[in-house]
Structure 1
Amino acid sequence: MPPRLHPPAAGAYPAALAQRVLDDALAHGCRVYAIAGLQGSGKSTLAAQVAAAGAARGLRVAVLSIDDCYLGRRERLRLGRQVHPLLATRGPPGTHEVALACDTLDALRTHGVARLPRFDKLADTRLPPSRWPQARGIDLTLFEGWFLKTPAQTAAELAAPVNALEREEDRDGRWRGYCNQALAERYPTLWQRLDRLLFLQPPGFDTVPDWRWQQERQAQARAPGRGGMDRAQVERFVRLFERVSRQALARLPAIAELSLRLDAQRRVLD
């Protein structure tokens, strides 16, 4: 059994884990290696560490998040008016520009020149293309996201609300039905571009609000004066993700090629 790995207090995962993930990607000949994990699980941190480990070995590694492919605020406001008000808030399936993610991964896979979209979460909008970093001749792309390869639910599973937000603001199920249909119809073409999937598996959904609040405070500390969410807003925001997060918890351990169980402090148990 491999040793239990403990991330240091700064929030990073152990260097040994980053090396293991890089070895896993290279051993399977991956061009696009995916890292899934619920909000606040540290998937962006791990992706950055794996990229640094790859660079130390002379590899050109790009990191892309599905969050960077969120629809801009204007597009989401339009969805909020035309379909359901909850779609104005970024997050669930149906609020991403899937074609942008696919095109970017395709460009990275061919060793060509690619511009990497970037989303400013504090400003809640995608940066203009003129501010996207450029990547060229990439050997490995790390693609991270909170619901990668999560399958859609059945109509029966959609029927009952999972929390107060759904009971009060989605009484007819129109919002969750739209998100579920998007998950079923739009995202599989993106999932097909992922060569291998690692799932950072939390002990349960109840840890996610605390993790997301820690993440929010860190983001605000890096950019003081730029706003962001308070604790109550974070709690509400997380509830938008709860349904698909619970589906990911139930289904991804059997779908991902590799799963690593975490405890509430994000220590790796496997």
Structure 2
Amino acid sequence: MSSPATCREADDLLTQFVRDHRLPDEYRQLAAEYWLPLSNRLASMFDGHTLVVGINGAQGTGKSTMAAALAMFLGNLHDLKTVVISIDDLYLTRAERSEMARVLHPMFQTRGVPGTHDLRLAMALIRALKAAGSESDIAIPRFDKAVDDRRPEAAWHHHHGRVDIILFEGWCVGTTAEPATQLKQPINRLEADEDAQGIWRSHVNASLAGEYSQLNAMIDFLVLLQAPDFETVYAWRGLQEEKLRASMPDGTHLMDQSALTRFIQHYERLTRHNLATLPQMADVVFSLDKRHCIRRARYREGVS
């Protein structure tokens, strides 16, 4: 990145990226200061074998936009074939979650927490991407949140050719199980009222200790976008809903304040757990303030 031509290329890419994603102009500086150096570091780590990069961040931290910026830099400046996948596209189908709700606990009808993703599909997808060659055609699932169900395979995205870097983003990517003792007391009104016996949260935790730990083991490098606290995450999620409401005059499928509060409480336990545990586990931590500005970037000691 030292040559003027390359610097100009990066600047041109950022100008187009900000325009295409309708981002504030300040995002140019953030991406140039943090995402560009990270992309250079990831490129330097690539040794010919597919690199799996996990990106964790609570709701509203900007994971998807960050992943898109990294993919742009890696592809255009380093000629690395990069695929972005989101754990949000790997939920169990609505029918499968309905069966979980019937057999295990009604709260599993709500997507989001560990246990509601199709881990076999997720791990098979990552294996297929890592094994891809020049003639490969890999179908990448898509989930439609508007209808709360997986899209038909005809609507899935396809990646053709080899894969050098996989950017795998999601709010519970890299999340570990809690100690069993922490499950005894409910953490909010939702758990107290609807999971008084701890069945739901115990199954979520068992999922993390089982298949999710196998999924996490496939990650080579973990990035954390660290929110200041859970209260800020709650506020950010509320702002997302307000923006959706402003863009959809009829308000179809949007949540009122009561529904939003209940929805976010499904995520509270593990969001707080991630904030307490992942900073010590991640290879790089970007600490955000309440205005979404990065206060500090910290790379784990020994990370080249």
- Whether TM-score is above 0.5 comes out as yes
Shift of 1:231: 3.3
Q: Confirm or deny: 8 A CA contact 1:208 1:238 kept in the other structure.
A: no
> Aligned match of 1:20 in 22, 33, 37?
37
Q: 1:95 to 1:12 in 2, by over 3 A?
A: farther
Pick from 92, 95, 108 the counterpart of residue 87 of structure 1. 108
Structure 2 counterpart of 1:192, one-letter code: A
**Contact 2:58 2:227 (8 Å CA) reproduced:** yes
In the alignment, does 2:89 pair up with 1:68? yes
User: Distance between the aligned counterparts of 2:278 and 2:87, measured in 1?
Assistant: 17
Distance 1:123 1:198 in 2: 30
Report the Cα offset of residue 160 of structure 1.
0.6
Alpha-carbon contact 1:122-1:228 (below 8 Å) kept: no
Q: Tell me the CA shift for residue 219 of structure 1.
A: 4.9
Kept in 2, the 8 Å contact 1:220–1:227? The answer is no
Alignment-mate amino acid for residue 211 of structure 2: R
Query: Which residue in the other structure is 1:189 paired with?
Result: 214
Rounded Cα–Cα distance in structure 2 between residues aligned with 1:257 and 1:99: 26
**TM-aligned CA distance change 1:90 to 1:148, over 3 Å:** same
User: In the aligned structure 2, how far is the partner of 1:32 from the partner of 1:224?
Assistant: 40
Q: CA deviation at 1:84?
A: 0.5
Change (3 A) 1:31 1:221: farther
Task: Pick one of 26, 51, 66 that aligns with 2:71.
Answer: 51
Structure 2 gaps of 5+ residues are 1-17, 297-304
- List, as ranges, runs of 4+ consecutive aligned residues in structure 1 with deviation greater than 3 Å: 7-13, 216-226
Tell me if the contact between 1:107 and 1:113 (Cα under 8 Å) persists in the aligned partners. no
Distance 1:63 1:255 in 2: 22
Q: Work out whether 1:166 is the aligned partner of 2:191.
A: yes
Compute the TM-score of the two structures, normalised by the length of structure 1: 0.91
Q: Offset at 1:64?
A: 0.3
Q: Contact 1:66 / 1:144 at 8 angstroms: preserved in 2?
A: yes
Moved more, 22-31 or 225-234: 225-234
Q: Which residue does the alignment assign to 2:285?
A: 259
1:135 paired residue among 135, 154, 159: 159
Query: What is the identity, as a one-letter code, of the residue corresponding to 1:200?
Result: L
C-alpha contact (below 8 Å) 1:31/1:195 kept by paired residues = yes
Once the two structures are overlaid, the 10-residue window that deviates more, 176-185 or 55-64, is: 55-64
Residues 84 and 144 of structure 1, relative CA distance in 2, 3 Å threshold: same
Determine what percentage of the aligned residue pairs are the same residue. 38
The aligned amino acid for 2:157 is P
SS of equivalent residue, structure 2 residue 166: strand
Which amino acid in 2 is paired with 1:153? E
In structure 2, the partner of 1:206 is 231
**Once superposed, what is the RMSD of the aligned Cα atoms?**
2.0
1:41 equivalent in structure 2: 61
Structure with more relative contact order (C-alpha pairs < 8 Å, separation 6 or more): 1
Rounded to whole Å, the distance in 2 between the matches of 1:68 and 1:221 is 25
**How many residue pairs end up in the alignment?**
264
Q: 2:125 aligns with which of 104, 108, 119?
A: 104
Residue in structure 2 matching 1:249, options 275, 287, 299:
275
For 1:101, what is the secondary structure of its paired residue? helix
Query: Cα deviations across residues 94-151 of structure 1 (Å, max 9, x unaligned)?
Result: 0000111111111111234311111111221111111111012222111001122221
Q: Is the 8 A contact 1:12 1:45 kept in 2?
A: no
Q: Is the contact made by 2:142 and 2:150 (CA closer than 8 Å) also made in structure 1?
A: yes
Partner of 1:3: none
| CA distance in structure 2 between the partners assigned to 1:11 and 1:96 by the alignment | 35
Indicate the SS of the match to 1:216. helix
